[in-house]
Structure 1
Amino acid sequence: MEYQPGVCNIGPAQQRRRLLLGVGSLLLAVVTVAVILAMGWPRWTLIASLFPLYGAAMGYFQYRERFCVGFAGIGVFDVGDGTNRVQDEAALEADRRRAVRLNTKSLAVGAVGSLVIYGVSLVVL
């Protein structure tokens, strides 16, 4: 595997870490919803599921797209041979543009997911 600016900045080991982040965040979202419902808190508090759902989406997208938003932010990559610095300014800019797109997409998925959870609670409960 090779580093490709704005396309791929992590290898298989780093991908697995992002997948675990996504799964853990999804489980946290389930626990968050369960606790809110079990405690009888107001339904609007279900919107708090946005945060772990955002984390779940971020983990999944980073895994699937072989791209780490955090690495792009600090200007590094790790495709399997250790962490290396991005030397080229154009490559760094491409990575950061990609990071913004992934972050926006993850936030949108988290927001839609939390609104769906809230909407379902209005219909079902």
Structure 2
Amino acid sequence: MEYQPGVCNIGPAQQRRRLLLGIASLLLAVALVAAVVAVGWPRWALLLSVFPLYGAAMGYFQYRERFCVGFAGIGVFDVGDGTNQVLDEAALAADRKRAIRLNAKSLAAGVVGAVVIYGVAVVGL
């Protein structure tokens, strides 16, 4: 695997870490929704699921797209041979542009998920 600015900045080991983060965040979202329903908290509390759902989406998208937002932010990459610094300014700019898009996509997925959960709760509970 090879580093490609704005396309790929993590290898298989780093991808697995992002996937596990996404799964853990999804489980946290499920636990939050279950707690709100079980304890009888106000329905608006379901909207707080946006945070773990954002984390779940971020983990999944980083895994699928082989791109780490955090690495882009600090200007590094790790495609399997250890962490290396991104030295080229154009490559760094491409990475950061991709990171912004990936972050926006993850936030949108988290918001949509939270709104769907809230809507189902309002209609179904």
Q: TM-score, normalised by structure 1?
A: 0.99
Match of 1:4 in 2: 4
Q: How far 1:37 moved relative to its partner?
A: 1.0
Q: How far 1:120 moved relative to its partner?
A: 0.1
Q: How far 1:39 moved relative to its partner?
A: 1.2
Fraction of identical pairs, as percent: 80
- Is 1:14 the counterpart of 2:14? The answer is yes
Counterpart-to-counterpart distance in 2, 1:3 and 1:99: 15
Match of 1:98 in 2: 98
Show structure 1 runs of 4+ deviating over 2 A: none
Match of 1:109 in 2: 109
- SS of alignment partner, residue 79 of structure 1: coil
1:12-50 per-position Cα deviation (integer Å, ceiling 9, x unaligned):
000000000000000000001001111111101100000
Aligned pairs, number: 125
Task: Please tell me the root mean square deviation across aligned C-alpha atoms, in Å.
Answer: 0.3
Stretches of structure 2 that go unaligned for 5 or more consecutive residues are none
1:90-110 per-position Cα deviation (integer Å, ceiling 9, x unaligned):
000000000000000000000
Match of 1:51 in 2: 51
- Is 1:61 the counterpart of 2:61? The answer is yes
